[in-house]
Amino acid sequence: MPARRLELVDPDLCVGCMSCMFACSRRFGDSGLNYSAIHVRSVGGVERGFTVIVCRACDDPSCAKVCPTSALRMRRGGGVTLDAKLCIGCGYCVRACPFGAIFWDGVNDKPIICTHCGYCVDFCPYGVLRVM
């Protein structure tokens, strides 16, 4: 069975409610937004809408290529998995992602990596996300 991956159905449907972000962060027991692997940003005012930034599950992930310790490894189905024990907190992966889709856990000095679990999908009231 192919591995699941999170996909954007249509970012133009996003109203910026951040429900997906709260849901994702909650996986780590955080009641705020600090650990979310998905981010919603305004693209310049309510009338211009929002953009959703999340890992695109690259088949040839540049984040993994630059990791000096192999803490990021290619994930079956695209994207990467993080072995936090190997991570030295250099942040190269954050700079390497062409989509700006790696966020930072400043408490533990580790990247926040989307696991493509799909938990956020059910919390989006507007059908912006899906798992395939």
Contact 42, 14 (CB under 8 A): no
What are 104's strand-pairing partners?
A: 111
Q: Is 103 in the site for ligand SF4 (CB under 6 A)?
A: no
**What is the smallest separation between the CB atom of 107 and ligand SF4, expressed in angstroms?**
14
Q: Choose which of 14, 21, 40, 97 interacts with ligand SF4 (CB under 6 A).
A: 97
Strand, helix or coil for residue 30: coil
**Can residue 8 be called a binding residue for ligand SF4 (CB under 6 A)?**
no
129 is a contact residue toward ligand SF4 (CB under 6 A): no
Under rule CB under 6 A, residue 108 binds ligand SF4: no
Question: How many whole angstroms separate alpha carbon 100 and alpha carbon 113?
Answer: 12
Indicate the residue among 34 and 62 with the shorter CB distance to ligand SF4.
62
Q: Is 62 in the site for ligand SF4 (CB under 6 A)?
A: yes
90 near ligand SF4 (CB under 6 A) = yes
Q: Which residue in 93, 120, 124, 129 binds ligand SF4 (CB under 6 A)?
A: 93
d(CA 38, CA 50): 13
Helix (H, G, I), strand (E, B) or coil at 109: coil
# binding residues, ligand SF4 (CB under 6 A) = 27
The residues near 29 (Cβ < 8 Å, ≥ 6 apart) are none
**CA-wise closest residue to 9 among 52, 60, 58, 61:** 52
Binding site for ligand SF4 (CB under 6 A): 55-58, 61-63, 66-69, 71-72, 79-80, 87-93, 97, 99, 101-102, 111
